[in-house]
């Protein structure tokens, strides 16, 4: 049997769905224990037992990967070969701006572009909507596209699609913000299970458990990912956190010390820019919080 190239459309642990050149989805097992293909991976595979099953023989080199720690503290790769991270938030469940900042930093480190999606913008009577809208203005000011959508009323879906043309995008964000619902609104035929927000806990019930890649009719690929309650950036490795906050780049150019961490150093361009009102104090607080988290994860940072 000859080898073919394909792309991993979903990953269920020991089995993956590989999309072949014709666009058909082939359930595949792996040829070895060391092979760990994830959604978005380009793989070489060969058919087994006729055509309806396959064996993944090789994972081709990745452009990048989006990682996060799993419950046991090990690094979990959510998806590979992603060119755009779309951080979804909503007035319900209670928004977590620090989580948005961490995902935006992760996007910068993996060399992907990023944008912010405010979903459930139909919830006009929700007290949290207006403050969230105002908070997100800060992101447009520093250059991130901010798109207001409603998977319910279908508002904002055209600008969202326009933003995804030419990209492999991934929807990330808290559980229950409506990532799967957005995909359902764009691709009703995909019939993706979405969860009811339970009033008691505010958490989704039919929560997505595996990342899955879909093709958009308007152009581009979109990956739905399982939501999170928390996202600790264990996988930032040796990266300089300054690079995760794109608006720090210019002010950091005038720091006296090349290795300035923008905390207590004298003549720091970043802390000066915070004082001058050029950098948003809340973003600077996120930077400090993330720095502290990194210190706990790797002493001596």
Ligand X SMILES: Nc1nc2c(ncn2[C@@H]2O[C@H](COP(=O)(O)OP(=O)(O)OP(=O)(O)O)[C@@H](O)[C@H]2O)c(=O)[nH]1
Which residues sit at the interface with Mg ion, rule CB under 5 A?
A: 179-180, 208
* 30 contacts 56 by C-beta, under 8 angstroms: yes
- Per CB under 6 A, the list member of 6, 37, 54, 176 interacting with ligand X is 176
Q: Which does 40 bind (CB under 5 to 8 A by kind): Mg ion, ligand X, Zn ion, none?
A: none
In degrees and rounded to multiples of 5, residue 157 shows phi and psi of -75, -30
Q: How many CB atoms lie within 10 A of CB 91?
A: 23
Is residue 207 involved in binding ligand X (CB under 6 A)?
A: yes
The closest residue (CB) to ligand X is: 227
Q: Say whether the peptide bond before residue 248 is cis (omega within 30 degrees of 0).
A: no
* 194 contacts 187 by C-beta, under 8 angstroms: no
Q: Which does 67 bind (CB under 5 to 8 A by kind): Zn ion, Mg ion, ligand X, none?
A: none
Q: Which does 268 bind (CB under 5 to 8 A by kind): Zn ion, Mg ion, ligand X, none?
A: Zn ion
The strand pair at 16-19 and 25-30 is best described as: antiparallel
d(CA 137, CA 292): 26
- Per CB under 6 A, the list member of 151, 164, 280, 293 interacting with ligand X is 151
* 177 contacts 90 by C-beta, under 8 angstroms: yes
- Per CB under 5 A, the list member of 79, 262, 279, 293 interacting with Zn ion is 262
Residue with tokens 């326009």: 162
Q: Which does 175 bind (CB under 5 to 8 A by kind): Zn ion, ligand X, Mg ion, none?
A: ligand X
Is residue 204 involved in binding ligand X (CB under 6 A)?
A: yes
- Per CB under 5 A, the list member of 80, 260, 273, 294 interacting with Zn ion is 260
Is residue 268 involved in binding Zn ion (CB under 5 A)?
A: yes
Q: Which is nearer to Zn ion, 108 or 270 (by Cβ)?
A: 270
Q: Which of 212, 176, 169 is nearest to 92 (CA)?
A: 176
List residues near ligand X by CB under 6 A: 119-120, 122-123, 150-152, 175-181, 194-197, 204, 207-208, 226-227
């Amino acid at each position: 049997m000859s080898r073919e190239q394909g792309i991993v459309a979903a990953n269920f642990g020991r089995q993956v769905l590989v999309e072949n050149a014709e666009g058909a989805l082939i359930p595949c097992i792996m040829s070895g224990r060391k092979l760990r293909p994830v959604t978005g991976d380009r793989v070489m595979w060969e058919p087994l037992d006729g055509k309806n099953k396959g064996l993944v023989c090789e994972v081709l080199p990745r452009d990048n990967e989006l990682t996060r720690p799993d419950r046991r503290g090990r690094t979990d790769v959510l998806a590979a070969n992603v060119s755009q991270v779309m951080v979804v938030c909503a007035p319900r469940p209670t928004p977590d701006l620090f989580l948005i900042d961490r995902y935006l930093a992760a996007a910068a480190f993996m060399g992907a572009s990023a944008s912010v999606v405010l979903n459930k913008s139909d919830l006009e009577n929700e007290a949290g909507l207006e403050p969230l809208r105002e908070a997100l203005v800060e992101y447009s000011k520093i250059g991130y596209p901010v798109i207001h959508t409603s998977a319910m009323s279908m508002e904002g879906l055209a600008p969202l699609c326009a933003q995804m043309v030419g990209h492999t995008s991934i929807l990330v964000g808290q559980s229950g913000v409506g990532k799967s619902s957005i995909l359902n609104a764009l691709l009703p035929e995909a019939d993706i299970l979405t969860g009811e927000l339970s009033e008691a806990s505010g958490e989704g019930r039919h929560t997505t458990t595996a990342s899955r890649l879909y093709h958009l009719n308007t152009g581009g690929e979109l990956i739905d990912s399982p939501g999170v309650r928390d996202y600790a950036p264990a996988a930032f490795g040796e990266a300089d956190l300054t690079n995760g906050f794109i608006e720090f780049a210019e002010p950091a150019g005038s720091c006296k010390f090349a290795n300035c961490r923008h905390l207590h150093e004298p003549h720091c361009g970043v802390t000066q820019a915070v004082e001058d009102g050029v950098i948003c104090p809340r973003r600077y607080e996120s930077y400090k919080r993330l720095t502290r988290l990194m210190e706990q994860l790797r002493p001596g940072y």
